[in-house]
């Protein structure tokens, strides 16, 4: 039909041009490893990213080549976020918390040609350097000499001109690559396209999604190696939002210091991070000015309701619960109250806010039960969450083994077990491999954990199912107590009793010093089950 719209590719080249033109004076702030503060701007970033793109071309990087990064959240990492895809190459973020074996596997599987690495993370690279073959290693240094056979980043980009002729980029071209490490099998690569990142940024910025605008100050605490810091650096460039990068210093006092000094309005991270911040605020009343903060996004693992309530009631801070995965770029759902739910009693409001929320525009969701049919949206029926949308992966990078994660009719099987209520709010009850099957009923480990973490003596709790001769499996709660606090199994059981059906209550409570965690900071239930494998239930 004639009279239609232009065929304009959705690529991040537009976001990059726009921020350089409209927001050159908006600040970018980075905390260096020595804790000093580096102040810069989008104007500076715009010039330096183009210098980097020219330098990469000079080093022989071709469209489609993979360029890896091993870095904390910094302005230089943001430069790579744009320079690499603008040159037509693929930005591959590596997680320094993974084992050397996994990192070597991932770099080789991806075929990375170049590595950009923080000087403070160079020792991580050294542990697997002999197993990989990037053509060039570029070090984000801080003035001192760089290791032998590596290139100093500043010296590399210094002679380049701050203007790069961007080649034609198609919207479905690869922009980035991120590996997700399951608890079983090898890590799997997810490839993000320009189109996916652009559409994801647009929807993320919407007021009822994460909500970001030019008046905000955004501090991503979620690492830039974890699903592109949930896409936030891209979203903030699109909206012209000031960014504050905490570098390697992720302790509560450093982060709270930046929130106060930079007047951060928006920040994001995993629940364990916010539990640490909550503890610091509780212990030092009045020590940190958090009055600028409008939203603290929490995701990556379930946010305990008690934590959301504590932030709001004790510190007037708004925690926004969101769900996503590496395979979904990652934003899938956000829990904001619909206006008619806002007036409800506190107990109900907080319960809804602690759910994973409503699917954002362009993400379709359904929960599929054991029969293979979608379950009712009644707040009770559980099923496996399946999603589809323009920023949901269609397959893994060069990995035919995991093809069964993608259904014949075009959905991605997340492996999360969920319910939907009649309003559409989604609640994660488990990972499919963690759900506890007891006497034909499913018991949600996540609900038990969240309830336990509401007990004043409990710092952390993880619940796993252990084999049981009669019931197949029974729940066992692993509990870390707060410093100096005490609680007996009987007290904890009594605390849970009013909230759960009797068959859901844990058969045992095991106290431990720490709960094993994955590289992304999540409870590692496979390790817990292994730890408890000789535990005999009565
Ligand atoms: P990753 O790909 O490493 O980001 O992990 C994605 C998985 O983390 C999801 O499939 C969920 O199991 C879990 N997850 C992410 N966000 C949440 C959340 N808000 N509540 C509970 N689990 C979550």
Here the CATH number for the domain that contains residue 86 is 3.40.50.12780
Between CA 334 and CA 320 the distance in angstroms is: 7
385 in any annotated domain: yes
Q: Is the pLDDT of residue 237 over 80?
A: yes
Does the beta carbon of 320 lie inside 6 Å of ligand 1?
A: no
229 in any annotated domain: yes
Number of domains in the chain: 3
410 and 440 belong to one structural domain: no
Between CA 299 and CA 345 the distance in angstroms is: 25
Evaluate whether 463 touches 390 at the Cβ level (below 8 Å).
no
Q: Provide the CATH number for the domain around residue 518.
A: 3.30.300.30
Q: Is the pLDDT of residue 182 over 70?
A: no
Between CA 276 and CA 520 the distance in angstroms is: 16
Best residue for ligand 1 mutational test, from 98, 272, 324 (most atoms within 8 Å of Cβ): 324
Q: Is the pLDDT of residue 411 over 60?
A: yes
Does the beta carbon of 520 lie inside 6 Å of ligand 1?
A: yes
For this structure, is 74 an active site residue? no
Average of per-residue pLDDT across 171-183: 89
Does the beta carbon of 302 lie inside 6 Å of ligand 1?
A: yes
145, with CB counted inside 10 A (0-12, 13-18, 19+), is: exposed
Q: Which tokens in the block code for residue 94?
A: 């590596």
Ligand 1 centre distance from Cα of residue 358 (Å): 15
For this structure, is 265 an active site residue? no
Domain region containing 469 = 435-531
pLDDT band for 163, please (50, 70, 90 cuts). very high
Q: Is the pLDDT of residue 183 over 60?
A: no
Q: Which of 246, 267, 288 is the last residue of a domain?
A: 246
Does the beta carbon of 330 lie inside 6 Å of ligand 1?
A: yes
- What is the pTM for the complete model shown? 0.91
> Which of the following is catalytic: 160, 327, 447, 449?
327
Q: Is the pLDDT of residue 123 over 80?
A: yes
Does the beta carbon of 426 lie inside 6 Å of ligand 1?
A: no
CB-CB neighbours of 37 under 10 Å: 14
> Which of the following is catalytic: 133, 407, 437, 497?
437
Average of per-residue pLDDT across 217-246: 98
For this structure, is 442 an active site residue? yes
Question: Which residue spans within 165-269 are E strands per DSSP?
Answer: 174-180, 188-193, 217-220, 242-245, 266-269
231 and 170 belong to one structural domain: yes
From atom 5 of ligand 1, which residue's Cα is the shortest distance away? 325
Going edge to edge, which strands form the sheet with 364-368? Answer: 364-368, 383-388, 412-420, 426-431
Evaluate whether 193 touches 64 at the Cβ level (below 8 Å).
no
Question: Which residue spans within 482-523 are E strands per DSSP?
Answer: 508-511
Q: Provide the CATH number for the domain around residue 397.
A: 2.30.38.10
109 and 234 belong to one structural domain: yes
Evaluate whether 289 touches 263 at the Cβ level (below 8 Å).
no
Interior angle at CA 133, CA 129 and CA 135, nearest 5: 115
Ligand 1 centre distance from Cα of residue 28 (Å): 29
Average of per-residue pLDDT across 4-8: 94
428 and 462 belong to one structural domain: no
Q: Is the pLDDT of residue 399 over 60?
A: yes
Average of per-residue pLDDT across 11-17: 98
422 and 447 belong to one structural domain: no
Q: Is the pLDDT of residue 272 over 90?
A: no
Does the beta carbon of 299 lie inside 6 Å of ligand 1?
A: yes
From atom 1 of ligand 1, which residue's Cα is the shortest distance away? 325
């806002």: which residue's tokens?
A: 342
170 and 230 belong to one structural domain: yes
Q: Which of 408, 433, 458 is the last residue of a domain?
A: 433
Please give the number of the atom of ligand 1 that sits closest to the Cα of 414.
10
DSSP-assigned letter for residue 62: -
Phi, psi of 419 (to 5 degrees): -120, 155
65-88 pLDDT per residue, tens: 999 999 999 999 999 999 999 999
27-56 pLDDT per residue, tens: 999 999 999 999 999 999 999 999 999 999
pLDDT band for 517, please (50, 70, 90 cuts). confident
With CA atoms as reference, report the closest residue to 529 among 468, 485, 463.
463
Q: Which of 214, 246, 278 is the last residue of a domain?
A: 246
356 in any annotated domain: no
* Window from 56-65, 395-404, 407-416 with minimum mean pLDDT: 395-404
Between CA 528 and CA 27 the distance in angstroms is: 44
């709270």: which residue's tokens?
A: 256
420 and 462 belong to one structural domain: no
Question: Which residue spans within 89-215 are E strands per DSSP?
Answer: 90-93, 112-118, 136-140, 151-152, 174-180, 188-193
């Amino acid at each position: 039909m004639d009279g239609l719209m232009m065929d304009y590719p959705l690529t991040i080249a537009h976001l990059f041009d726009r921020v350089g033109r409209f927001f050159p004076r908006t600040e970018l702030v980075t905390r260096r490893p020595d804790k000093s503060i580096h102040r810069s701007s989008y104007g500076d970033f715009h010039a330096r990213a183009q210098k980097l793109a020219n330098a990469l071309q000079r080093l022989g990087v071709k469209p489609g080549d993979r360029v890896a990064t091993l870095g904390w959240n910094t302005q230089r990492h943001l430069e790579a976020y744009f320079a690499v895809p603008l040159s037509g190459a693929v930005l591959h973020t590596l997680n320094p918390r993974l084992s050397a074996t996994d990192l070597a596997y991932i770099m080789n599987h991806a075929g990375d040609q170049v590595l950009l690495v923080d000087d403070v993370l160079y020792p991580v690279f050294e542990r697997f350097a002999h197993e990989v073959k990037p053509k060039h290693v570029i070090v984000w240094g801080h003035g001192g000499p760089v290791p032998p056979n590596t290139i100093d980043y500043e010296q590399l980009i210094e002679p380049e001109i701050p203007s790069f002729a961007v080649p034609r980029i198609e919207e479905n071209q690869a922009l980035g690559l991120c590996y997700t490490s399951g608890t079983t099998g090898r890590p799997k690569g997810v490839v993000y396209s320009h189109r996916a990142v652009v559409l994801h940024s647009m929807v993320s910025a919407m007021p009822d999604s994460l909500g970001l605008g030019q008046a905000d100050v955004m501090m991503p605490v979620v690492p830039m190696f974890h699903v592109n810091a949930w896409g936030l650096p891209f979203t903030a460039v699109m909206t012209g939002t000031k960014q504050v990068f905490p570098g390697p210093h992720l302790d509560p006092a450093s982060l709270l210091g930046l929130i106060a000094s930079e007047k951060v309005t928006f920040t994001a991270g995993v629940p364990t991070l916010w539990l640490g911040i909550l503890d610091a605020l509780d212990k030092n009343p009045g020590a940190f000015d958090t009055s600028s903060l409008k939203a603290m996004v929490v995701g990556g693992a379930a946010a305990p309701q008690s934590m959301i309530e504590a932030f709001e009631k004790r510190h007037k801070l708004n925690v926004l619960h969101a769900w996503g995965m590496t395979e979904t770029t990652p934003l899938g759902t956000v829990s904001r109250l619909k206006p008619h739910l806002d007036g409800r009693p506190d107990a109900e409001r907080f319960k809804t806010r602690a759910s994973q929320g409503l699917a954002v525009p362009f993400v379709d969701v359904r929960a599929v039960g054991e029969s293979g049919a979608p379950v009712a949206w009644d707040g009770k029926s559980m099923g496996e969450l399946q999603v589809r949308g323009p920023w949901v992966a269609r397959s893994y990078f060069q990995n035919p083994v995991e093809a069964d994660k993608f259904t014949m009719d075009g959905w991605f099987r997340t492996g999360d077990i969920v319910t939907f209520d009649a309003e559409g709010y989604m609640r994660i009850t488990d990972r499919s491999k963690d759900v506890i099957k007891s006497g034909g009923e499913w018991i949600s480990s996540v609900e038990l954990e969240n309830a336990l973490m509401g007990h004043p003596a409990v710092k952390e709790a993880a619940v796993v199912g252990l084999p049981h001769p009669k019931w197949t499996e029974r729940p066992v709660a692993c509990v870390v107590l707060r410093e100096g606090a005490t609680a007996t199994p009987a007290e904890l059981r009594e605390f849970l009793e009013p909230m759960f059906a009797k068959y859901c209550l844990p058969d045992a409570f095991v106290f431990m010093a720490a709960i094993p965690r994955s590289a992304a900071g999540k409870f590692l239930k496979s390790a817990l089950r292994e730890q408890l494998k000789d535990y005999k239930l009565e």
